[in-house]
Amino acid sequence: MEVQCFTVGAFQVNTYLLRDETTGKCAIVDTGETEELLQCLQALDPVPDVEVILLTHGHLDHAGALPSLQRFFNATTYLPRLEQPLFNTLPEQGDWFGAAHMNRPCGRIDKLVDDGDRIKVGSSTLTFISTPGHTPGQGCYYDEHDIFVGDTLFKGSIGRTDLPMGNHALMQESLQRLMTLSGELRVHSGHGPITTLSHELMTNPFLQFLR
């Protein structure tokens, strides 16, 4: 699939537009917490035909703008099943950062995904892998070329596990599982630049325990 990245909002989160070349159907991965992504997508010509919205996890910067996107796009929204309790705290997550103006209503979740589930986008298929640790249900979506990892893995770093509901031991297990996927996969993180699984396995100081 064709991948376009939009870095939006106060947390500079990477959101992604995936386009199935055969049918033109699109997926959005994560939303930001402002209307910025919606504005970016509305400015495209043609405006993308968004079939699905995929949330990697329930943090404000990744899921907070879901209602604004749902007002415009008639898309099916997927959330990792184990992430539902954290997702439900969106109306108070701004308070965690001392920023009540960032509290957001929860959008509508249409489908809960479990490890190994497959999701159709036009004629393309994405697979969901559960990688808890940063949050209880954090997960990644991938096809044969690309993986969208949310805050599981960054170029040269990993997601923090010291926020509410984070778990360092689970994170280490998840990273280990992630590294059983093809090293060629291009890694699209929730923050920062693109990388590959094999590059991170070789160079990322937080993955030293796997080398």
CB of 152 to Zn ion, least distance (A): 9
Which residue's CB is nearer to Zn ion, number 26 or number 153? 153
Reference 134, options 59, 46, 194; nearest CA is 59
CB of 94 to Zn ion, least distance (A): 14
DSSP summary character for residue 192:
S
CB of 124 to Zn ion, least distance (A): 26
Reference 171, options 208, 129, 205, 136; nearest CA is 136
Residue 30 binds Zn ion, judged by CB under 5 A:
no
Distance CA 166, CA 135 (A): 5
Q: Give the residue nearest to Zn ion (CB).
A: 59
Reference 114, options 141, 95, 94; nearest CA is 141
Which residue's CB is nearer to Zn ion, number 109 or number 171? 171
From residue 70, give the alpha-carbon distance in Å to each of 14, 43, 56, 206: 19, 17, 17, 36
Reference 189, options 161, 158, 148, 160; nearest CA is 148
Binding mask 52-71 for Zn ion (x = CB under 5 A): -------x------------
CB of 62 to Zn ion, least distance (A): 6
DSSP summary character for residue 187:
E
Which residue's CB is nearer to Zn ion, number 64 or number 122? 64
CB of 125 to Zn ion, least distance (A): 26
Which residue's CB is nearer to Zn ion, number 19 or number 59? 59
Q: Looking at 30, 35, 83, 151, which residue binds Zn ion (CB under 5 A)? A: 151
Instruction: Give the interface segment with Zn ion, choosing from 14-22, 96-104, 114-122, 146-154 (CB under 5 A).
Output: 146-154
CB of 151 to Zn ion, least distance (A): 4
Residue 25 binds Zn ion, judged by CB under 5 A:
no
In degrees and rounded to multiples of 5, residue 123 shows phi and psi of: -95, 5
Which residue's CB is nearer to Zn ion, number 122 or number 148? 148
Spatial strand order in the sheet of 146-150: 118-121, 124-130, 139-142, 146-150, 186-189, 195-196
Which residue's CB is nearer to Zn ion, number 30 or number 51? 30
Return residues touching Zn ion (CB under 5 A).
59, 151
